[in-house]
Structure 1
Amino acid sequence: MFKKIAFIASYSLPLIIVLAYYLPNQPITWTGAFYVYVLVPLIDILIGKDRQNVVKEEFDKLLSDSYFDFLVFSHIYIQYAMLAWVSYVLVYDDLTTTQAVRLVISQGIYAGTIINVSHELGHRNTFWSKLHARLGLVSVAYHHFIVEHNKGHHVHVATPKDPATSKFGQTLYGFWFQSIIGSFLSAWEIEKQRLNKKRQRVLSFKNQVLMGVFSSILLFVTITLLFSIIKGAFEFEVLYFLLGQSAVAILLLEAVNYIEHYGIVRQEINPGKYERVNPLHSWNANHFYSNLLLFNLQRHSDHHAYASRPYQILRHFDESPQLPFGYPLMIVISLFPFLWFKVMNPRLIKWKENAYDASHIKKVVAQFV
């Protein structure tokens, strides 16, 4: 029950961003970054890790509890409210350039969590879940993610075919280029093959990648024009904000991809054919507080083993490769390649010593069933 209620912490980031802005004297606009990358890691250290798993007998009860659905669905609406609020602030309040940039970054960090919410909803098979996932991704100009992630990444993870799997010795900066460009091209190819099978034109609104691009353009132009009409002059800062928060969100998503799969590979059992994905093929972080904010995204091995499993019943297993810190601090470390390699390369080498042990794999897979 405590953990169920504790997921309310997911609302803390947008709340802190707004409340700090309206503190007396002058707006404070850097709190989003400070909270996520300084305070959250400290809270993680103080509270510690969570190794507790839901027992199978409780699965059905938790799956039918609408409380968990409400939490993730509500963040899509909060995201759009935040887009409107920040646009309003930029147009009507007299902020310095530094204050405005910090506010855009803070909102971009929250927008990065919306990609995670969309990721959660995008794995569900209901119409409303898919619709809200798409709305969230459109708000950060990354709609093709729902195509590539579900039909590309989950199929090719931990192989050279996956642009969202980072390689041993690869820096975050090199990975950003690989994954952002590669994932879009992969999504386009997936849609092209799907439409060709249906004998439909690729250059049409049947193409989900194109639909996403045009939907984001329409959304950003509409918001910009709306505030421009109200103010009586074209408000470039609104358009810059929408693009800026999207860029921050996308870079954060890809930083998470970098962390989740760094250097892990599946064995090639036949030319072009790889062993089945098992729980050893993703890094995990089981820090209690950051998992509340990220809806258990850090329990990533169970997610890849069972992609449709909702966040409230994702499980932790000690045998999965473990990150030393939660995602927020790992993102900071990944910005400094020499530090990242010092922290992660020894862990990766140790993982490889056990990864191809057949008895070890059998033991781990058996526990994940």
Structure 2
Amino acid sequence: MSLLKKLGFLSIFTIPALIVWGYYMGGGWTFSGFVFGYGIIPLLDTIIGKDPENITEDSFDQVISNRYFYAVVYAQVYVHVGIVLFAGYVVSLQTMTALEWTGLLLSVMLFMSSGINIAHELGHKRSKVAQFHSQLTLMLVGYMHFFIEHNKGHHVHVATPKDPATSKKNQTFYAFWVQSVFGGWQSAWDIESRRLQRHGLKTWSRHNAMLWYIALPLIFCTLLTTILSWGSGAVIWAIPAFWVAQSILAFSSLEAVNYVEHYGIVRREIAPGKYERVNPLHSWNSNHRVSNFFLFQLQRHSDHHAHAARPYQVLRHFDESPQLPSGYPVMILMSLVPPLWFGVMNKRLERWKSKAYDAEHIKQVVQATV
């Protein structure tokens, strides 16, 4: 892997720097992180273009064992903790205007939604240390059930009617949001309940991770509010209001990503209730270089679903996978306008269908991407 690409993954640190800088500049500058994510990154994607590079077989082991890539991810966890603490502190001061409060909220939301991506990367690791950090990051946005549902639900049922995180053709993002948020939570509860039953444990007990996933974010928010408002004269509701708002916006951004990644794609049902194995045709991809730096190559999503344990630094691009016209930032904004989204994506979805159910084509794709 080139030095430029290795350094590119450090670009995510730009956003927390802009959040802090924007706050101290004041006024409209508090929107800096948000504008950078949804304005500058798409512009750079257009100028710099796509990334055709895949890791070679000769360098695979060296890259996958390089601790640099893991250090970047773990560092991000603690930067996210720091940003939540920073945002809570400056909100507690009660010195911002409504404009500044809104700008800070949107910029923090953008960064905290990228934290869910960090949690996603670490949540696929078997290491208890990695899994702890995954759950810690999800706690910051009150979305800890994602740790269960994504790994044991979504990856099993993706591109089937059983998956709440797979969007349907002609389904708006807003309808999908309800489906995925509430359906995902119910799925995680059911998965955890079955796990407890297998071990002879009661659902309503301290062994139920879902109960902890409800309690821990509430405890965190309470402690954050208590500590930061202690003796400061802060309006007590300001801190939890900001925390809840950034959490909802952050996990809604995640759900927009889910909507984009899986829109309309359905695996073949080869027997009643049984579907073909996931292959690289079953997720939308974007190979735009800059947005992939900031998203740790999440946009190479087909390889991720075909090989869930593959670390971000060695995820591959396949021309055979269905391709998005832009990176995720543009696609997320587009998803908020249903007529625009349907006008662009339904044509691409029909082209995908023309190949996705052809047995010979599937065979060739699978052989080419093993």
Taking structure 2 as the reference length, the TM-score comes to 0.97
Unaligned runs of 5+ in 2: none
| Counterparts of 1:275 and 1:230, CA distance in 2 | 60
8 Å Cα contact 1:188-1:209 kept in structure 2:
yes
Superposed counterparts of 1:324-335, under 5 Å: 324-335=325-336
SS in 1 for 2:270: strand
Deviations 1:149-197 (A, max 9, x none): 0000000000000000000000000000000000000000000000011
The 1-side partners of 2:27 and 2:327 are apart by: 32
Give the Å deviation of 1:359: 1.4
- Equivalence for 1:307: 308
Q: Aligned residue pairs: how many?
A: 368
The alignment status of 1:216 with 2:217, answered yes or no, reads yes
SS in 2 for 1:269: strand
**Residue 27 of structure 1, CA deviation:** 6.5
1:278-335 CA distance string (max 9 Å, x none)? 1100000000000000000000000000000000000000000000000000001000
Displacement after TM superposition at 1:230 (Å): 3.7
Matches of 1:158 and 1:182, distance apart in 2: 15
Is the partner of 1:163 in helix, strand or coil? coil
Any runs of at least 4 consecutive aligned residues in structure 1 with deviations exceeding 3 A, and if so which?
A: none
Query: Which residue is equivalent to 2:61?
Result: 60
RMSD between aligned residues: 1.1
Cα distance in structure 1, aligned partners of 2:177 and 2:358: 32
**Conserved in 1, the CA contact under 8 Å of 2:280 and 2:321?**
yes
Question: What TM-score comes out, normalization by structure 1 length?
Answer: 0.98
The one-letter amino acid paired with 1:21 is: Y
Q: CA deviation at 1:28?
A: 1.9
Partner of 1:246: 247
State whether residues 42 and 330 of structure 2, in contact with CA within 8 Å, keep that contact through their aligned partners in structure 1.
Answer: yes
Of stretches 123-132 and 6-15 in structure 1, the one that deviates more from structure 2 is: 6-15
AA partner of residue 206 (structure 2): F
Shift of 1:234: 5.2
Q: Counterparts in 2 of 1:77-88, with a 5 A limit? A: 77-88=78-89
Identity level (%):
49
Quote the residue 1:345 is aligned against.
346
8 Å Cα contact 2:28/2:103 also seen in 1: no
Equivalent pair of 1:225/1:234 in contact (CA under 8 Å) = no
Which amino acid in 1 is paired with 2:110?
I
- Could you tell me which residue of structure 1 aligns to residue 123 of structure 2? 122
Work out whether residues 21 and 27 of structure 1, in 8 Å CA contact, stay in contact via their aligned partners in 2.
no
State the match for 1:194 in structure 2: 195
Q: Note the 1:177-326 alignment, pairs <5 A.
A: 177-232=178-233, 235-326=236-327
3-state SS in 1 of match to 2:249: helix
Of 92-101 and 59-68, more deviation after overlay is shown by: 92-101
SS of corresponding position for 1:95: coil
> 1:37 aligned to 2:38?
yes
Q: Where do 5+ consecutive residues of structure 1 fail to align?
A: none
In the TM superposition, 1:38-187 aligns within 5 A as 38-92=39-93, 94-187=95-188
Q: Deviations over 1:105-124 (max 9, x none)?
A: 21011110000000000000
Secondary structure of 1:231's partner? coil
Distance in 1 (CA, whole Å) between partners of 2:339 and 2:361 is 31
AA paired with 1:49? K
The answer to whether the Cα contact below 8 Å between 2:27 and 2:99 also exists between their aligned partners in 1 is no
